[in-house]
Structures are given as structure tokens and as C-alpha cells.
């Protein structure tokens, strides 16, 4: 049983650690390492707390209950519609971010191996079509491919963390926030990087609704990304000064700049490959979820993978074509949907559940004051994203 708890923790960690990790240094460099780290710890604490709120709600439902069934049970049809809309919005925003960031990397790589320069638009479409074909082949094929990619990604990450550590400049890590406005841009993106609540129903079912074991898995699984992110922040922010980071305009330029600061060919290759794999595995995972969600939502599409693929990839592809540098922008908008799914809905579900189940076995500490603070934090993130858009 301990193996299942560990496996569940790794599923949560794997869901959390993805392409959003690449954006963290870009949005937090102006904050400085220590300020950004404190912000991460605070966001981790809140997201861990709301995951425990979801566990409290799950104890009142069926073992295999999903967010949709719980929303219907405690919030009615309107609550279920809000949950569905938020999930779709989150999936589409993340897919748009991964197409924008992944196609940028893909465009550079494919032009290195072709005798002529391909247009950026063609590279973006080709990248999307390749992933769409993989997804349309079925979950079994995706699982086989994703296992190899994920294992390789972990090897590259460990190599990067090991070899880049000696190149850290302590002075860069002591930098203070450039100005107060940087919090507005950084907050939504950092928040999105800690989203794992969509995997909670699967963990609840896998661990047979054992509250103690699920609680351990949630806390361990959410803590592992925090540790990885802190190491990643320290290593990347220790390579360049804040003024150098301010000159970086996109993900591809960030990877290139870090590579140029390292006099070691293997690490340069490992860094580039890790960025590619982080984007690709995240894109595959999210788009598979969106693909299955759309196919299961209508009987008319269940036998047509082509129609489902068109509905899955066309909207985010259009975004990426019109906003090729929109990786961080799309992650920011994904934060709005994640606020609803990971903050507002857990609070609303718990508030309703506590009215009807006053003698529950498991109740998360904090009372209504903690629930109110979560709501205020969510409103702050939405406000930050709206302000950053202007």
C-alpha cells in the first residue's frame, strides 16, 4: 500500500511539474530569488490547503466521483456548468500556451535540419498536427510515447541541476524586486505552475477513498514540485542578472541566453532538450485530457477522432498563429480558470458540504476565515491578470 501512496504522490508531482516551470524564471527574475521563493511557498501552502478541501468533499461522494459529479451533488446544475466551462477554458488556454512555446522551439530545431528556412506559420501548424496525430492514435500509444519522453526529461533535469550549480553567482540571487508592478505579472503564472487539482479524483479512486493515505499523497505530491521549483529558480536566476533577464522577450531567447552563459556543450544540449520535452509532455498530457473530455461530452463525436481533434486543436492553434510570443500570456489567462477550479469551487463545495454533513469524519482546519482568505487570494490573482493585460 505504501507503493500506491508513493505512486499517487508522483502522479500529482508529475501533473504539476511541466512546461510552466520554464516560464518561472522569466516572470520572477524582476522579483529577485528570495521574494519569488517566498511567493512560491505561499502559493504552495494555499494550493495544498484547497486540495485538502477537495478531500473533505470527496468523503461525502462516491469513490469514483469526479469534479462534475461533486459540483452537481453540492452546487446543482449551475455549479456543474461553471465547473465544465472552467475546465474547458483551462485546457484551451494551456494548449494555446504549449503550442506557442513548443512551436517556437520546434521552428528553430526543424530549420537546423532542413536545407531551407521554413516559415514560422508552417512550423506551428506542423507541430500541432504531429501532436494531434499522436493523440488520435489512442491513449495506449500516448502512454507508451509519454513514458519514454518523461524518463528522458527527468534525466536532463537532474543533469542540468547538477552541472549548473557551480556557475551560480550569489550576487544575482540577492537582488530585490525591481518595482512593485512585477508582482502583477508574476503572480498568475507562478500560481498556474502549482495546479494539480484535476488529478485529485483519480488519486481518491486509486487509494480507495482512504483519507489518511490520500492526505499524505496530496502533501508529498504538492511539496515535490515546490522543492524542484526552488532549485530551478536558484540555478537559473543565479546565471544572469536582472538587467539581462529584462532583455529576454520569449522562451526561445531565454533558453539561448542561458546556453550562451554556459561553457559546456553537453549542458547546452541538455537544457535545450529539457525545454523541448517539458513543453511536449505537458502539451500531450493536457491535449489528451481535452480530447477525451470533448469526445465523451457528445455521443456524435465519440466515433470520430478527426472531428474531436479539429475541435481540440483549432482554437489554441489560432491563438498561437496570431500571438506567437503568447506563451506567458496564455499561462496567465489559464490562471483565471485555475482560480475557479482550484480555489473558488473547493471553497463553495466545502461550504455546502459542511451544511449538510455537520459530523463529518474529516474537516480541514481554518474554518470560514480560511475559506474567506482563499477567496480573497483568488480575486487577487484574477485582478493581477486583468491589470497585466492592460
**What is the chain's alpha carbon radius of gyration, rounded to the nearest angstrom?**
21
In the structure grid, which three cell numbers stand for residue 239, read together?
546565471
Residue with cell 446544475: 77
The vertex-15 CA angle with 13 and 20, nearest 5°, equals 100
pTM as predicted:
0.84
Three-class DSSP labels, 33-66 = HHHHHHHHHHHHHHHHHHHHHHHHHHCCCCCCCC
Q: How many other C-beta atoms lie within 10 A of the C-beta of residue 2?
A: 8
CATH fold group of domain 2-389: Amino acid/polyamine transporter I (1.20.1740)
**If phi over 0 gives left and psi between -120 and 50 gives alpha, with beta otherwise, what is residue 231?**
alpha
Distances (CA, A) of 260 to 67, 234, 269: 45, 18, 11
Quick one: pLDDT at residue 388? 82
User: Three cell numbers at 132?
Assistant: 494531434
pLDDT recorded at residue 147: 76
**Three cell numbers written together for 209:** 477513498
Residue 55: predicted pLDDT: 94
Quickly state the pLDDT bin for 306 (edges 50, 70, 90): confident
Return the closest-CA partner of residue 330 out of 143, 111, 104, 172.
104
Long-range contacts of 47-50 (CB under 8 A, 24+ apart): 47/191, 47/194, 47/195, 47/196, 47/197, 47/222, 47/342, 48/218, 48/219, 48/222, 48/223, 49/364, 49/366, 49/370, 49/374, 50/197, 50/342, 50/343, 50/346, 50/347, 50/374
Spans of all domains in the chain:
2-389
3-state secondary structure of 374: helix
Degrees to nearest 5, angle at CA 347 with 226 and 351: 145
Least confident stretch, 68-72, 184-188, 216-220, 262-266 = 262-266
Question: What is the band of 1 on the pLDDT scale with cuts at 50, 70, 90?
Answer: low
Taking 60 as the threshold, does the pLDDT of residue 301 lie above it? no
Q: What is the DSSP letter of 357?
A: -
pLDDT tier at 75, thresholds 50, 70, 90: very high
| Residue 304 in this model has a pLDDT that exceeds 70 | no
Q: Indicate the DSSP class of residue 177.
A: P
Answer whether 93's CB lies under 8 Å from 334's CB: yes
Name which of 312, 248, 260 is nearest 98 in CA terms: 312
pLDDT at 53: 96
The pLDDT of residue 146 is: 75
Each residue's pLDDT tens digit, 129-179: 998 888 888 767 777 787 788 788 888 888 888 888 888 888 888 887 777
More confident residue, 329 or 76: 76
pLDDT averaged over every residue in the chain: 86
Residue 198 DSSP symbol: G
d(CA 265, CA 295): 44
3-state class percentages of the chain: helix first, strand second, coil last, to nearest 5: 80, 0, 20
Count the Cβ atoms, other than its own, within 10 Å of residue 34: 16
d(CA 193, CA 195): 6
Place of cell 519569488: 36
d(CA 269, CA 261): 13
* Helices and strands, number each (H, E), in the chain: 17, 0
The pLDDT > 70 percentage for the chain reads 97
Determine the Cα–Cα distance for residues 149 and 144; give it in Å rounded to an integer: 9
Distance, C-alpha 234 to centroid of its chain: 20
Question: Residues 378, 381, 385, 388: is their CA dihedral positive or negative?
Answer: positive
Do the Cβ atoms of 101 and 19 come closer than 8 Å? yes
Amino acid at each position: 500500500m505504501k507503493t500506491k501512496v508513493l505512486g499517487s504522490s508522483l502522479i500529482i508531482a508529475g501533473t504539476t511539474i511541466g512546461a510552466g516551470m520554464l516560464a518561472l524564471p522569466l516572470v520572477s527574475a524582476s522579483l529577485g530569488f528570495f521574494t519569488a521563493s517566498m511567493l512560491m511557498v505561499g502559493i504552495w501552502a494555499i494550493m495544498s490547503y484547497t486540495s485538502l478541501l477537495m478531500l473533505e468533499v470527496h468523503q461525502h461522494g462516491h469513490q469514483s466521483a469526479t469534479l462534475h459529479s461533486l459540483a452537481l451533488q453540492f452546487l446543482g446544475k449551475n455549479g456543474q456548468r461553471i465547473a465544465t466551462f472552467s475546465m474547458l477554458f483551462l485546457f484551451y488556454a494551456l494548449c494555446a500556451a504549449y503550442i506557442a512555446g513548443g512551436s517556437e522551439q520546434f521552428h528553430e530545431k526543424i530549420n537546423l535540419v532542413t536545407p531551407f528556412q521554413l516559415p514560422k506559420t508552417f512550423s506551428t501548424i506542423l507541430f500541432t498536427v504531429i501532436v494531434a496525430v499522436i493523440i488520435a492514435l489512442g491513449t495506449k500509444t500516448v502512454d507508451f510515447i509519454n513514458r519514454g519522453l518523461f524518463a528522458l526529461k527527468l534525466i536532463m533535469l537532474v543533469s542540468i541541476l547538477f552541472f549548473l550549480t557551480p556557475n551560480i553567482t550569489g550576487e544575482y540571487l540577492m537582488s530585490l524586486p525591481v518595482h512593485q508592478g512585477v508582482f502583477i505579472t508574476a503572480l498568475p503564472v507562478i500560481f498556474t505552475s502549482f495546479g494539480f487539482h484535476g488529478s485529485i479524483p483519480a488519486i481518491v479512486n486509486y487509494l480507495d477513498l482512504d483519507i489518511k493515505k490520500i492526505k499524505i499523497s496530496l502533501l508529498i505530491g504538492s511539496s515535490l514540485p515546490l522543492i524542484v521549483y526552488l532549485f530551478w529558480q536558484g540555478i537559473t536566476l543565479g546565471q544572469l542578472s536582472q538587467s539581462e533577464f529584462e532583455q529576454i522577450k520569449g522562451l526561445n531567447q531565454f533558453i539561448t541566453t542561458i546556453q550562451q552563459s554556459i561553457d559546456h556543450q553537453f549542458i547546452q544540449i541538455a537544457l535545450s532538450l529539457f525545454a523541448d520535452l517539458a513543453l511536449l509532455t505537458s502539451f500531450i498530457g493536457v491535449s489528451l485530457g481535452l480530447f477525451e473530455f470533448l469526445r465523451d461530452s457528445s455521443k456524435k463525436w465519440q466515433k470520430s477522432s478527426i472531428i474531436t481533434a479539429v475541435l481540440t486543436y483549432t482554437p489554441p492553434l489560432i491563438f498561437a498563429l496570431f500571438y506567437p510570443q503568447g506563451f506567458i500570456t496564455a499561462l496567465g489567462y489559464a490562471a483565471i480558470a485555475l482560480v475557479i477550479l482550484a480555489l473558488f469551487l473547493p471553497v463553495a463545495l466545502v461550504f455546502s458540504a459542511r451544511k449538510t454533513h455537520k459530523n463529518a469524519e474529516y474537516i480541514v482546519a481554518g474554518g470560514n476565515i480560511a475559506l474567506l482568505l482563499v477567496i480573497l487570494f483568488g480575486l487577487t490573482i484574477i485582478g493581477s491578470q486583468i491589470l497585466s493585460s492592460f
